[in-house]
Amino acid sequence: MNTTIGKSHSGGKRAIIDIGSNTVRMVVYDGPPRAPLVILNEKVNARLGKEIGRTGAIGEKAMRAALAALARFAALLRLLEVDDVECVATAAARDASNGPAFLDAVRGFGLSPRLLTGEEEARASAAGVIAAFPGARGVVTDLGGGSLELVEIDDRVPSGICPGGITLPFGTLRLPDLRAAGPQKFAATVRDGLKARGWNRGRGMPLYIVGGSWRALALQAMRVLDWPIDDPHAFELAPAEALRLARIFERGPIEDPDPRISAPRVAALPDAAALLVQVVQQLRPSRLVFSSWGLREGLLHRQLPASVQALSPMLASVEAFAGAAKATAQDAAHIVEWTAPVCRDDPADDDLHQAACLIALAAMRTEPNLRTEEALTWALRKRWVGLDMRGRGMMAMTVLANAGKIEIPHAYHRLAPLPDLNRAIGWGLAIRLCRRLTGCAERGLDTTGLAIRGGDLVLMLEDSAQPLFSPGVAKDLKALADWLGLVPRLENTARELLRL
């Protein structure tokens, strides 16, 4: 089963097998190439790297567990008829004396494992972060079972990834032994490791956090902080807050762990927290941003042509999702254009505005008794890669206003500034007016329009559109005008202004 590249930009099933030091995982993707949908995600905690520090080799038990998992993965791929497969191996296979023999055994299943160097591993994780956070600049740090990788990213360089990424032997399987020497010795080990590799980057820059153990730390931090969002992707912490929480967690044991964190991750969380303390202290970042996309998504992203890489992952995923409810990107674009005269946005929010409109439209095509609740779940809980916490808050507020509710829930103030939430209310009220007036029909949009003239909010209707106006539409127009601090007016084709 050979690696296939260049195919996945056209969609279809594709798979990544990641043979790591702690876990062996296979993820099968489908859906839009720029925002791949996971249709199968399976892992085995083989712990290939557990004995390498002591014996220099992969242990027999770990090897058996990994090979059994890989045999199953190969069989599943045949059943699913997936032949676009990339299989990679990282620190354990790279460092173990019997790593070559292990990879030969993997080839016996029809897989073609590629052994990544430490820098290649760092660059693949960085590509995943770049795919999730277009335009990101900062440092990516990826904590795996056998190693810790760091690499700088900057959208001003051609690939987005700066040369000089490093790998250090500070994986989660090695941390217990490193910490056993005491906190001062551990701190010196991390500090000296960074110094020996000449790492002096990251001060005052965002630090993008990748890796399952650090994602578990984010989940636990969100639980402690009673955070209104439960997806750790794009969760941010200020350095001082990150240090405060990590110092609590590193003391262990973890009290009241988040139920979504597996038992092995809970057990490893104090070690991961202790390492995070040292990394933050040494790099002194401006903020910490947790990413659920890393090596596997980076490998997928690098298969795509530049034209597809340049697409918004958030819009791609929202479009695919909303399409199931027959809400199309074209529908949303027309409504955004219709409401543009009253929604004067920062161009940087164009994609967010369109995505929020798509979610609002999709909600209107679901069960009436559930539509607002479902749409809020989509906005606040579904993973939209490329959507930050501010965007989630604005999307949720758009959904509420589209349902005629303009009171801002207290929790939303933790997600987005008040001016942005107020702007999203304007989006939602404008969408509500548009869809209730025209049914989102193209001819209805073409024969009606909105404008602001002086202190008036003017709804313009051609003669053929006059029957569309109703008391309910008048109420929606007044609600939008009141929100904008304007007077609602109705204008017919003879340009007669009527106070409502």
Q: What is the pLDDT along the chain (500 residues), one digit of tens a residue?
A: 433 323 333 468 999 999 999 999 999 999 999 999 999 999 999 999 999 989 999 999 999 999 999 999 999 999 999 999 999 999 999 999 999 999 999 999 999 999 999 999 999 999 999 999 999 999 999 999 999 999 999 999 989 999 999 999 999 999 999 999 999 999 999 999 999 999 999 999 999 999 999 999 999 999 999 999 999 999 999 999 999 999 999 999 999 999 999 999 999 999 999 999 999 999 999 999 999 999 999 999 999 999 999 999 999 999 999 988 888 889 999 999 999 999 977 888 999 999 999 999 999 888 888 889 999 999 999 999 999 999 999 999 999 999 999 999 999 999 999 999 999 999 999 999 999 999 989 999 999 999 999 999 999 999 999 999 999 999 999 999 999 999 999 998 545 555 55
Amino acid at 289: V
| CA dist., res. 368 & res. 58, Å (int) | 57
Could you give the CA distance from residue 166 to residue 211 in angstroms, rounded to a whole number?
Answer: 16
> Cα–Cα distance between 325 and 232 in angstroms, integer?
27
Neighbouring C-beta atoms of residue 178, cutoff 10 Å: 19
Supply angle C-alpha 155, 161, 163, rounded to 5: 130
In whole angstroms, give the CA distance from residue 301 to residue 35.
Answer: 9
Rg of the chain in Å (alpha carbons): 26
- With tokens 């949908």, the residue in question is 37
Phi-psi region at 490: left, alpha or beta (left = phi > 0; alpha = psi -120 to 50): beta
Q: Which stretches does DSSP call E strand in 217-274?
A: 236-237
- Cβ neighbourhood burial of 484 (10 Å; 0-12, 13-18, 19+): middle
Dihedral (C-alpha) 226, 228, 234, 237: value to the nearest 10 degrees?
-40
Rounded Cα distance, 440 and 324, in Å: 17
Closest listed residue to residue 15, CA positions, set 109, 83, 75: 83
Contact between 178 and 26 under an 8 Å Cβ cutoff? The reply is: no
* Domains of the chain listed by start with CATH number: 8-115 (3.30.420.40), 119-296 (3.30.420.150), 313-499 (1.10.3210.10)
pTM of this prediction exceeds 0.75: yes
